[in-house]
Homo-oligomer: A and B are copies of this chain.
């Protein structure tokens, strides 16, 4: 009788469990690595005893954000409500406490298992509320990645002071080089409409330690500095503040003329200096913790101090002076080049090295990872380690302008680590780039797309950037595994495959687009797809042919002493190796040397044969990733599995296009036969050359409006590859 009576209850429970088991959220990628999905039962039981209540001892704003996040995260992971308490009342408390914490500095934290009032507790302690926030995300990460938390004694602190995302977002919500929809910032409805997504964006940044955001494009409109827009900026700053994210703005150097009514923007003009001071004061009245200005000046047509015969230092220091009393900073970009000079790769160094020591204390010179422009592979920028009396930031690009844009997988941590780990030999060897920088700035890949970054795997680049900016010595494999566990799940059969796909993906992209030290072989303007043959653009360094220097005899850019001597900008121990054919790594061969097609590589193959093999290796890697991903179907929710599979399929199609078009063109120069076992391009060269795209996301045709047409090449349908 009792059993019979219980039967309906059991059925009821089973029914409810069934409903609970069905995913509460569409797996559309919105939750990023903060999914907080219920842990599998065994793991859940393990953690439950150590997470029974949350006691946040600080009322500071960021500490309260931390408490809320702990509750959200633990309640999801453990599938039970975890209450907030005012003091420890039982075993398993998680305690947040601001106290003098040795060795973690500002922003750092310690997490320790201890006893409080006789109860087992996990205490997150920090010197400041920001440390509590980061420590709370760190504890959640341990659980999300199935690490033990029963005997913790962890300390951690950021290695770089400034960890910043830079949005190339325009006021009309277009995003330059954006492949994830529109800008997140809906300027039209700000400041009235406070989209909850702004909060989720800040949360995601906080979870990986990002503490600053530049809202607008470096190709800036001065309008962002007008009073109406500053009120909109304030609304965003207010929403980001609880998550420790400071707002910065790109400042157009000519703003005093554009919106201030002045006749000049000369940085030594008193009226101009006064204008910027008044503007800074106005901003800080609205946003007391405003971060400062990012400036692209005298670069690609931007106005700047050189328009008035002044130096970059003059320009930066003027803005620094306006911000100094508010503790604001200036990030001044070193990305400069002009038509006149002989080697674009040398120009930033030539312009900025002589200014070392002349920048104000609150100026950071922002240097791209390589000397050209975010190519799939570049050697590290020669300015790293050579600006000993100047604060330097490294700028990297999360959005994949040159690495496949919206398609498939290209995990960029290996690229960034390659540069961060590079030895500058400055002032002495064993000084990696990461030891020479104060900040990392990442050009954002975030947009209005539901999954934030256009496809699910691009989220990994956002995550990896934050983790590397926190600790530039972190390993790509460690980051990939962490992200995979949090984003896709902890099943070891899944983790292994996903991590391998990720770690190989950047090298595959190099092979597909620019192997052996090639660079800048993409199509003009929109940068989508291959165009190695382009050679007729007015500015020499806009042409792919400028970089390949390819002709019937050979290929590569001679940057040794017999050429541009860009290698000479590095410390001799580094530069001499780059300049020496016997020493230069294959990966940088054509970056530094012009060699004949028949040049014998270390592999024993001719350069020509090696080049073809690299392209095919790249295509093969994408095909391998597709096969691996197919096998992951049992371990991944259908929605994301299908989405990634479709994106990989696009990447394969585009890889083949790059491979075929590049080989067809190089072969038209070299005249050499394809090595055996390598298929000829699917179409003749002319077919590839006739392909023209005009409506490619992320490219804003200046003055051209929106209506274009695609010109189909002879011999087949081109635009939809």
Interface positions of A (Cβ within 8 A of B) = 2, 9, 12-13, 15-20, 24-25, 28, 79-81, 170-174, 181-182, 187-197, 221-223, 226-229, 231-232, 258-259, 406-407, 448-450, 639, 642-643, 646-647, 649-650, 653, 695-697, 700-710, 712, 717-720
A181 vs B695: C-alpha distance in the bound complex, in angstroms?
17
Pair B172/A695 contact, Cβ less than 8 Å: yes
Chain B residues contacting A720 (CB-CB under 8 Å) are 190-191, 227-229, 231-232
Chain B residues contacting A16 (CB-CB under 8 Å) are 13, 16-17, 20
Chain B residues contacting A223 (CB-CB under 8 Å) are 708-710, 719
A197 vs B451: C-alpha distance in the bound complex, in angstroms?
13
Chain B residues contacting A712 (CB-CB under 8 Å) are 226-228, 259
Chain B residues contacting A170 (CB-CB under 8 Å) are 695, 706-707
Pair A20/B20 contact, Cβ less than 8 Å: yes
Chain B residues contacting A171 (CB-CB under 8 Å) are 695
Pair B710/A643 contact, Cβ less than 8 Å: no
Pair B717/A227 contact, Cβ less than 8 Å: yes
Pair B705/A705 contact, Cβ less than 8 Å: yes
A647 vs B193: C-alpha distance in the bound complex, in angstroms?
7
Pair A228/B710 contact, Cβ less than 8 Å: yes
A155 vs B172: C-alpha distance in the bound complex, in angstroms?
49
Chain B residues contacting A704 (CB-CB under 8 Å) are 703, 705
Copy number in the complex reads 2
Q: Contact check: which of B9, B194, B228, B642 meets A194 at CB < 8 Å?
A: B642
Closest B residue to A5 by beta carbon equals B2
Q: Contact check: which of B24, B649, B700 meets A192 at CB < 8 Å?
A: B649
A653 vs B229: C-alpha distance in the bound complex, in angstroms?
16
A457, chain B: closest CB distance, angstroms: 13
A526, chain B: closest CB distance, angstroms: 11
Q: Is the interface of A mostly helix, strand, loop or mixed?
A: loop
Q: Give the top 4 A-B pairs by smallest Cβ distance, nearest first.
A: A228-B720, A228-B719, A172-B695, A193-B646
Closest B residue to A712 by beta carbon equals B226
Closest B residue to A702 by beta carbon equals B705
Chain B residues contacting A701 (CB-CB under 8 Å) are 705
Chain B residues contacting A448 (CB-CB under 8 Å) are 181-182, 448-449
Chain B residues contacting A173 (CB-CB under 8 Å) are 697
Chain B residues contacting A28 (CB-CB under 8 Å) are 196
A677 vs B79: C-alpha distance in the bound complex, in angstroms?
60
Q: Contact check: which of B182, B190, B232 meets A182 at CB < 8 Å?
A: B182
A10, chain B: closest CB distance, angstroms: 9
Could you give 24 example pairs across A and B, Cβ below 8 Å?
A2-B2, A13-B16, A15-B81, A16-B16, A16-B20, A19-B79, A19-B81, A170-B695, A174-B706, A189-B406, A189-B647, A192-B646, A192-B650, A195-B643, A221-B709, A223-B708, A227-B720, A228-B710, A228-B720, A258-B709, A259-B712, A450-B450, A700-B705, A702-B705
Closest B residue to A191 by beta carbon equals B720
Pair A695/B187 contact, Cβ less than 8 Å: yes
User: Given A9-B13, A642-B194 in contact, is the A705-B703 Cβ separation under 8 Å?
Assistant: yes
A528, chain B: closest CB distance, angstroms: 9
